[in-house]
Amino acid sequence: MRVTSRLPDWLTFRRFAAFTTTLTLALVMLGVYTAATGAGLACSAQWPLCDNGLLPQSIPSFIEWFHRLVAMVTGWFILGTAAWAWRGGDRRARVPATLAVVLLPLQISIGAVTVTLSGLFPQGYSPPTQGAHLVVALTIFTALVVTTLRAYEDHYDRPRLLRVQHSLLAAALTLPVSVLFSRVVVSLSYSPAAQAAYYGTSLAVFGAVVAATTWLGDTDADLGRLRYVTGAVLALVFASLLLGRDLVYYTPQVRAYNLGVVALAGVLLLAATLAAYRAGDGGRSLVATSRH
């Protein structure tokens, strides 16, 4: 029996996967906010307890416990997405959904080390650990984005090329917004809230480019070469996300390097967007052949 036969009509696998992906993005934002406020230090040398107890006794411990609660709920949704994919959701979504589940224990372990596991890892709250935490989180998020794309594959009512155009355009319009919240803009404070907003908008850019890259693989061979450009954009956005976690001392030289990374990502993203729209204007047959 398919899972969907026992659920309300509005609750479909593709919607469940999309919600899980969105929830994961929100969790990353909350995790960045938690780390930026130093709330995890409230549990230093006493993880999994905080403030020597189970219940929050201060604002920092409340933030940490709330982050754990959201992480637990998100984890169950990720497990549910993979289980649904295997029990009748979509075969093409099984591999990325399973990858997200496989990485969950690693992410949880790194999160424990980040707030110092019972004092056994005195360097737990360090740049390398934070970097690893972000890398695994981004990998899980990417796997869920691909899972959602595969789940929707048979339900799109727009040509594939048009989807590529809209995804790249959305990413190109969102990238400047993310830069406003980043450390590149000297006039604004890189507060915990700004950091959360920066990672939320940057992940939106990243997810949109992942979608475009995925769809480009199923289009005309000439247009498919744009994947090299969008792949470079993904690498550059990823580099800027790492720099935003203070993995290195943020000197004026590092800021200039960060600005160069973001600027190059913007140029390549704009070039890919223009190329995709030119393909639509000059090759209407491509649109027709990309329809299901």
pLDDT at 271 over 80: yes
Mean of pLDDT over the chain: 85
Q: CA-to-CA distance for 289 and 159, rounded, in angstroms?
A: 8
Between 284 and 122, where is the model more confident? 122
| CA dist 147 → 93, 137, 152, 272, 290 (Å) | 5, 15, 9, 24, 20
pLDDT at 288: 43
> Cα torsion for 28, 31, 35, 40, to the nearest 10°?
-160
Instruction: Judge contact between 45 and 113, C-beta under 8 A.
Output: no
Banded model confidence at residue 289, pLDDT cuts 50, 70, 90: very low
Find the mean pLDDT for residues 87-109. 89
pLDDT at 283: 45
pLDDT at 38 over 90: no
In the chain, % of residues over pLDDT 90: 50
Choice among 57-66, 165-174, 282-291 with the minimum mean pLDDT: 282-291
The tokens describing 180, both together, are 């406003």
Write out pLDDT tens, residues 201-238.
Answer: 999 999 999 999 999 876 666 777 889 999 999 999 99
* pLDDT band (50, 70, 90) for residue 286: very low
Q: What is the pLDDT of residue 5?
A: 55
Residue 172 has pLDDT above 80, yes or no: yes
Q: Which residues pair with 50 in a beta bridge?
A: 53
pLDDT of residue 123: 59
Give pLDDT tens digits for 242-261.
Answer: 988 777 778 889 999 999 99
Residue 266 has pLDDT above 90, yes or no: yes
Which pLDDT does position 2 carry in this prediction?
46
- pLDDT interval class at 272 (50, 70, 90): very high
- Which of the pair, 112 or 123, is modelled with greater confidence? 112
**DSSP per residue, the chain:** --GGGGS-TT--HHHHHHHHHHHHHHHHHHHHHHHHHTGGGGGTTTTT-BTTBSS--SHHHHHHHHHHHHHHHHHHHHHHHHHHHHTTS-GGGHHHHHHHHHHHHHHHHHHHHHT-STTS-TT-SSHHHHHHHHHHHHHHHHHHHHHHHHHHGGG--S-HHHHHHHHHHHHHHHHHHHHHHSTT-TTS---HHHHHHHHHHHHHHHHHHHHHHHHHTTS-HHHHTHHHHHHHHHHHHHHHHHHTTTSS---HHHHHHHHHHHHHHHHHHHHHHHHHHHHHHH-HHHHHHT--
- Identify which of 112-121, 181-190, 264-273, 278-287 has the greatest average pLDDT: 264-273
Q: Residue 44 has what pLDDT?
A: 67
The pTM score is: 0.86
pLDDT of the residue at 292: 43
> How many CA atoms does the CB half-sphere of 245 hold within 13 Å?
26
Lowest mean pLDDT among 18-22, 156-160, 271-275: 156-160
Amino acid 291: pLDDT: 45
Name residue, tokens 């909350």. 30
| 220 residue type, one letter | D
The CATH number of the structural domain formed by 158-292 is 1.20.120
